[in-house]
Amino acid sequence: MTDGPLIVQSDKTLLLEVDHPLAQECRLAIAPFAELERAPEHVHTYRLTPLGLWNARAAGHDAELVVDTLLRYSRYAVSHALLVDVADTMGRYGRLKLMNHPAHGLVLESSDRAVLEEVLRSKKIQPLLGARLDPDTVAVHPSERGHLKQVLLKIGWPAEDLAGYVDGEAHPISLVEDGWTLRPYQREAADGFWAGGSGVVVLPCGAGKTIVGAAAMARAQATTLILVTNTVSARQWKSELLKRTTLTEEEIGEYSGARKEIRPVTIATYQVMTTRRKGVYAHLELFDERDWGLIIYDEVHLLPAPIFRFTADIQSRRRLGLTATLVREDGHEGEVFSLIGPKRYDAPWKDIEAQGYIAPADCVEVRVTLSDHERMTYATAEPEERYRLCSTARSKTAVIERLVQLHEGAQTLVIGQYLDQLDDLGERLGVPVIKGETTVRERERLFEAFRTGEVHTLVVSKVANFSIDLPEASVAIQVSGSFGSRQEEAQRLGRILRPKANGGTARFYAVIARDTVDQDFAAHRQRFLAEQGYAYRIIDADDVMSDDEV
C-alpha cells in the first residue's frame, strides 16, 4: 500500500481524493483514458470505458502506460483481473484494419484470424463485405467503409482505418503569420490530426480552434467544406480565414439560410444542411458538389443525425472534428469515434490556462431559496413541469439583478434557456436580448456593440452557446440551462475565457434553485468542468444580496 491519491476498484471505477498533494498530477495522468462521472467536494469518481480506452489507444497511449499510471497513483493493490481487462480491451483496437489493397481496393485485414471469423458471422456485417481474398483478408464495398466501422465498434472490435484518403481538388491555402504565430498546442493539434488523417481535436473554448482548422487547411492545400452551428459562426470563420490565411473574399462561400454560395472554401450551417423538404435532405448534396479535400466539423459534439448518416458515406475524405468537449448527452460519442475519427489531440483546460492563453475562472454556484408559494407550486406540479418552474422562479430575479450590479462596468452575459425568463430579465435590466428569432444582422450589430463596450450587458439564449467570439466578456450569469447538459456548461464558461487585457479572472455564476431538480441538474452539468480542474464555490443568495463582494 502507498499513500497515492487514487483508489482503483474492480468495477472499473477510480476514486480520486481531491485534497491529496498528488491529486492534480494524477488527474492529468488519467484524463486521456478515464471519464469523470461524479465530482463532489472531496472524492471524484472516474470510470474506465471501452471507448475511453480505445480513444487513448488511437491517440498513441498503449496499455502499458495506462497500467503503469494506475499502479503509480493507486493507494491500494490494483486487481490483477482489472489490469488484464484494460490490456485486453485496448488490444482489441487495431486487430482489424481497413487497408487499401493494390489489386482489390478496400479490404478488411486481421492480425487475428479468430476475430475475423467472429465478425464475418455477424448478420449486420455480412452485407457490408465482399469476397474472402485469403484467410486474413476480406474485400469491403467502398461505399460501406463508414457503416462497417460503426458496426464493428458496436460489437466490440473497433477497426483501425488505414485505407487512406483522396486528396480532393487542389486549392492553394497558406497561413499568413503577420504579427501572430501558431501557438505550440495549435501546431501539435494540427500535426496530430494530419498524422492520423481524420479525427477530433479537443481544445478549450477561446483557445483558437478556428486557427487549428486553418492550419489543417494549409496542410491539405485543397478545397474545404466547413460545417458550423449558425450563420454568425459562419461569418466569424470567414473573418478569421481572411485574417489568418491567403484566402480572398471570392474564394470563401457561405451556404446558409440567407446565401447559397459554393466556392473552393464553403462554410455551411448544420441547420440548412438538415432542412427537409418532403422528407428529403436536399442540401446534403452539398457534400457531393465538389471534390472536397477536407471537411471540418465545428462543434462536432453537436453533429445532427443526418450529418452522421452522410458522413458514413464519405470516409475517403479527410475529416476534422473540432470541439471543447466530446461529451454527448445522447451517448453517441461512439458515432464520432467511428465516423469522424478518434481523438487526435486533447489539451486540458488548466494547461492552456497555465500558459496564459485562456483566462483563469472563478466558478460560483449561487443557491436561491424559493418562496413558500413557489415551493408549493413546484411540489404539486407534474414532474415534466418542475424543471421549468424552478429554473424560472421569480426568486432568482433579484439575485441576478444584484450580480449584474456588483459587476457594473464589466462585460457581462446573462445566459438562459427559457425565452419568457430572458425577455423579463432584459426588460428589468434595461439591456438587449438575443434569441433565436433575433435576425442575424441584429445579432451581429449587438455582438459588435458588446465587443466595443458600447453595450456592457447582454441577455442571451442558447444561440450564444457556440462559436461566438466575445473576447471582452468577463462575467457570465447562467440563470437556466438545458437540463443536465455538461457540454452546454463548458460552452457557456467558454464565452468568458478569452485572456483579459488586464490579466484578470473571469467570473462564472450559476444561479440555482435550492432543493429542486435545478440543483440536481447543476451537479450533473458541472462534471466536465470538474474534470478539467474547475471547482465551484457554493454561496447563499442572501450573501449576494447583502455583500458588495461575491
> Would you say the pTM of this structure is higher than 0.85?
no
> Which residues contact residue 184 at a Cβ distance below 8 angstroms, ignoring those fewer than 6 apart?
none
Residue 404 within any structural domain of the chain: yes
Report the CATH number that the domain containing residue 524 is assigned in CATH.
3.40.50.300
Nearest CA to 123 among 157, 155, 156?
A: 155
Q: Please indicate, yes or no, whether residues 196 and 250 belong to a single structural domain of this protein.
A: yes
Q: Please indicate, yes or no, whether residues 412 and 323 belong to a single structural domain of this protein.
A: no
Number of domains comprising the chain: 4
Q: Are 414 and 430 in contact (CB under 8 A)?
A: no
Which residue among 63, 92, 121 closes a domain? 92
Nearest CA to 209 among 328, 86, 44, 347?
A: 347
Residue 166 within any structural domain of the chain: no
Q: Please indicate, yes or no, whether residues 156 and 102 belong to a single structural domain of this protein.
A: yes
- Going residue by residue through the chain (550 aa), what tens digit of pLDDT does each one get? 568 999 999 999 999 998 899 988 998 899 889 987 776 668 888 999 999 999 899 888 899 999 999 999 999 999 999 999 999 999 999 899 999 999 899 999 999 999 999 999 999 999 999 999 999 999 999 889 999 999 999 999 999 999 989 999 999 999 998 889 999 999 999 999 998 889 999 888 888 899 999 999 999 999 999 999 888 889 999 999 999 999 999 999 999 888 889 999 999 998 888 888 877 777 888 787 889 999 999 988 888 888 888 888 888 899 999 988 776 666 677 888 889 998 888 887 778 888 888 888 888 889 999 999 999 999 999 988 998 999 999 999 999 999 999 999 899 999 998 999 999 999 999 999 998 888 888 988 998 898 888 999 999 988 766 656 777 788 999 998 776 577 777 778 878 888 877 778 889 899 999 999 888 888 877 877 776 777 788 889 888 888 655 6
Cα angle, residue 340 at apex, residues 494 and 108 outer, rounded to 5° = 155
Residue 170 within any structural domain of the chain: no
pLDDT digits (tens, 9 = 90+) for 362-409: 888 899 999 999 999 999 999 889 989 999 999 999 999 999 999 998
Residue 171 within any structural domain of the chain: no
Predicted pLDDT at 321: 94
Q: Which helix (H) or strand (E) holds 37?
A: strand 34-38
Q: Please indicate, yes or no, whether residues 137 and 12 belong to a single structural domain of this protein.
A: no
Distance from C-alpha of 466 to C-alpha of 459, rounded to nearest angstrom: 15
**E strands, 121-196, in order:** 129-134, 137-140, 160-161
Residue 173 within any structural domain of the chain: no
Number of neighbouring beta carbons within 10 Å of residue 100: 13
Predicted pLDDT at 371: 93
Angle between helices 231-244 and 440-452 (to 10 degrees): 60
Q: Please indicate, yes or no, whether residues 392 and 500 belong to a single structural domain of this protein.
A: yes
Residue 125, domain extent: 96-161
Q: Are 346 and 59 in contact (CB under 8 A)?
A: yes
Distance from C-alpha of 84 to C-alpha of 61, rounded to nearest angstrom: 16
Return the C-alpha cell found at 368.
436561491
Predicted pLDDT at 470: 74
Residue 494 within any structural domain of the chain: yes
Q: Please indicate, yes or no, whether residues 192 and 110 belong to a single structural domain of this protein.
A: no
Predicted pLDDT at 468: 66
Predicted pLDDT at 296: 96
Predicted pLDDT at 213: 97
Residue 287 within any structural domain of the chain: yes
Q: Please indicate, yes or no, whether residues 67 and 115 belong to a single structural domain of this protein.
A: no
Nearest CA to 430 among 388, 401, 452?
A: 401
Predicted pLDDT at 441: 87
Q: Please indicate, yes or no, whether residues 440 and 327 belong to a single structural domain of this protein.
A: no
Which residue among 161, 176, 208 closes a domain? 161
Predicted pLDDT at 356: 87
Q: Please indicate, yes or no, whether residues 336 and 484 belong to a single structural domain of this protein.
A: no
Q: Please indicate, yes or no, whether residues 450 and 363 belong to a single structural domain of this protein.
A: yes
Distance from C-alpha of 36 to C-alpha of 81, rounded to nearest angstrom: 22
Angle between helices 209-220 and 184-196 (to 10 degrees): 50
Distance from C-alpha of 67 to C-alpha of 33, rounded to nearest angstrom: 11
Q: Are 73 and 26 in contact (CB under 8 A)?
A: yes
Predicted pLDDT at 330: 65
Return the C-alpha cell found at 62.
498503449
Predicted pLDDT at 550: 65
Residue 178 within any structural domain of the chain: no
Distance from C-alpha of 10 to C-alpha of 28, rounded to nearest angstrom: 22
Predicted pLDDT at 148: 94
Distance from C-alpha of 212 to C-alpha of 182, rounded to nearest angstrom: 9
Which residue among 92, 122, 148 closes a domain? 92
Q: Please indicate, yes or no, whether residues 154 and 88 belong to a single structural domain of this protein.
A: no
Q: Please indicate, yes or no, whether residues 469 and 486 belong to a single structural domain of this protein.
A: yes
